[in-house]
Amino acid sequence: MKTLIKNAQVVLPTGIEATSVVIEDMRIASIDASPQTTVDQTVDAQGLYLLPGVIDDQVHFREPGLTHKEDLSHASRACAKGGVTTFLEMPNTVPAAKTQTLLNEKLALGAKKSLVNYGFYIGATPDNIDDLRQATNTPGIKIFIGSSTGDLLVDGQDALERIFAETTLPLTAHCEDETTVQANALKYRDSTDVADHSRIRNHEAAIIATRRALDLAFRHQHRFHVLHVSTGDETQLFVEHQNLITAEACLLHLFFNVDDYARLGTLIQANPAIKTADDNRRLWQALQDGKLQVVATDHAPHTLEEKQQGYPNSPSGMPAIENSLALMLNQVNQGRCTLEQVVQWMCDAPARVWDIVNKGRIKVGYDADLVLVDLDRTRQVRNEEQQAKCGWSPWHGEELTGWPVRTWVMGHEVYRDGQFDLSRQGQEATYDHLRGGYWATAD
């Protein structure tokens, strides 16, 4: 199958150009091809922008074990609708993906059920160092330095030292200091006010854990990615990255703050907790300054019934992946960032951080993971239209301008204006960890 996408404004590594792109089978075959090129299908993209598919490097899709909240079929349709062509999923499913066997079982589920491309992290425990050393077919190792249950919580210094010293895969972590969180929880143990969640999981908890993780990474010279940075103060820690450290902001910490609890309550309860409006501002500035490289979602759905329980019985986390690109395109329209920056933060950077082969750019020979967006389309986020199994969004009712309209995964059009083609599944992402990550010379 050969497809010509013509008359688009194409976001290339060199900038935005009015040009054409030819897809042949699963790859980008040519750029700026003649309009007379012989093809099987022509897509006239006049007035639209063609972007690389979004790569979301932090999601929780709940399969196996918690599929009443989310599953790969629903979640991957949400991805396709939202312009996300590759996801990397966290290990805290049931059972947790902490061995190669369990990781392989999740990869098999992805091959069977995912409409888009997929990858799965392996989870660290205090005593699975042999599994971590031998792990393959994974973007990296996820450590929960705080905010987890069971043996995925790795808070002891000896265990952390071994993981940083004795493994070779890239590392990433949830950074909240467990001692600080538990001490604060005692202070607010009788609280039923969800706003106290941000006092329990406060600035100090985040900063202490992030400092600790960076110290380990620098001493052991081990590549490390800081997930969902929530405070402005943390961003100052990334100035000296030593070609080892990358970090990301997630939508909830960019768009919500403690003032929103009055309006949205437990719907925006999350770990790490949302912080202040000043933290929002400083996170956006850190993206502009290059201190943060990636924008992700931390898509972590629960049913609406679960979320509407009174605090502290309400679980932390919220769905976000379906509307992530639209939320950022809306910011482009409002002048907060450029379209090229959105592509850098959501497509190119995550591919480079995790050494994903042939993704993240519109470039000849790269995988044809593409999304066509209409920067002028305006519509509301509506709960009843969500593909995510939980069926709700914290942005319900918000009007956004700029939406994905068509999505291709490995050259196959999986989504067009509300309709899905479910006839093929996405593919397992592949990694070349010898490339050296984000700070290595780009190809």
Tell me the C-alpha to C-alpha distance, in Å, between residue 145 and each of 107, 205, 208, 245, 289. Answer: 25, 11, 11, 17, 27
- DSSP-derived secondary structure letter, 114: -
3-state secondary structure of 427: coil
Pick from 117, 69, 82: which is nearest to 307 by CA? 69
- What does the block give as tokens for 173? 């972590």
Q: Catalytic one among 56, 57, 131, 298?
A: 298
3-state secondary structure of 240: coil
Q: Which amino acid appears at position 369 of this protein?
A: D
Q: Does 259 participate in catalysis according to the annotation?
A: no
Residue with tokens 């996820």: 142
CA distance 250 to 294: 8
Is the Cα dihedral 38, 40, 46, 47 positive or negative?
negative
CA distance 155 to 135: 22
- Number of C-beta neighbours around residue 427 at 10 A: 18
Q: Which residues are catalytic?
A: 298
